[in-house]
Amino acid sequence: MQYRTLGRTGVQVSTLVLGAMNFGKLGRTNQDEVTAIVDAALEGGINLIDTADMYSQGESEEMVGRAIAGRRDDIVLATKAGMPMGDKRDHRGSSRRWLVTELDNSLRRLGVDHVDLYQIHRWDPTTSDEETLSALTDLQRAGKIRYFGSSTFPAYRIVQAEWAAREHHLSRYVTEQPSYSILQRGIESHVLPVTQQYGLGVLAWSPLASGWLSGAVRAGREITTSRSTILPDRFDTTLPANRARMDAVEQVATLADEAGLTMIQLALGFVTAHPAVTSAIIGPRTVDHLHSQLAAADTVLSADVLDAIDAIVAPGVDLAAHEKFDTPPALLDPALRRR
């Protein structure tokens, strides 16, 4: 396992992060399976676990808490807030009112007195940067969080938050967690240059592109990845974007064979090769899945292989741009751009 410094924090983290989104009812994993995955991840050198309050509506945090009991000090523990937690008004977003309440809920579910990294799951257009950053700064000073970060923020919102922190003399985001893979390279154009400029650590999610790059999705075969039942449109090969992805996947598979690597090793090695990226977040549902991904822990791709990937999917290009989660609200709602 390789280790890198998380932004400017001085904290050393593994280049593979254990993501806990599949823990609980979403991934159909029980506590014994989760504990086995966590055990194997720690034995494999992973020292950062990333979860969120909304993963199976708190069940993931509870399972992670049970799995790490008695060894908290050996783990860099990260969670997130901001996505809806049920249907009640204000049980979402990044207001002071919600963040203070929901952090306590997360700490209770995790069974800990602090988290190392608390992340805003999505940019909240209804809440000012000053409101969010002041709440996070106070929680940091209270010892409930060590650092805080953003997730899937557009580049201009990362910049705005940095300037808001300076203007109001508040602590700043130290990490960003964007979606990044061979098939979704859009962040190379805007987000990664900004994170490098401001010295943010980058924890890349979906490096296997929801299973497209796991080897489970190939031309002429039945698609068996679990994501195909949850997000069927993302795997409907009658859609142009998915046909483009399938073409790219076949070329990636050929390249991996030629390089003597699995597709997973190639995909994860690509993400961690970018100088702006600290770690790639993996989300195994089984111990076998984990071991296939841990095999990429020390993968270093040659310049020739990286150049070949560029020829398959050009730098800065998203093959499925419509699946991005950082689109400005005015582009999604006509009323916001025409009023």
Q: Give the whole-angstrom CA distance, residue 339 versus residue 330.
A: 10
Q: Give the whole-angstrom CA distance, residue 25 versus residue 30.
A: 8
3, 55, 118, 180: which one is catalytic?
55
Q: Which two tokens stand for residue 319?
A: 């093959």
Q: Give the whole-angstrom CA distance, residue 135 versus residue 101.
A: 11
Q: Give the whole-angstrom CA distance, residue 272 versus residue 203.
A: 10
Which residues make beta-bridge pairs with 184? 318
Asked if 296 and 32 touch (Cβ cutoff 8 Å), the reply is no
> Active site includes 55?
yes
Which residues make beta-bridge pairs with 179? 205
Going by C-beta distance under 8 Å and a sequence separation of 6 or more, which residues neighbour residue 112? 65, 72, 77
Closest CA to 239 of 253, 231, 315: 231
Q: Which two tokens stand for residue 325?
A: 């989660």
Give the DSSP per-residue string, 310-323: HHHS-TT-BTTGGG
Furthest-apart CA pair in the chain: how many Å? 57
Catalytic machinery residues = 55
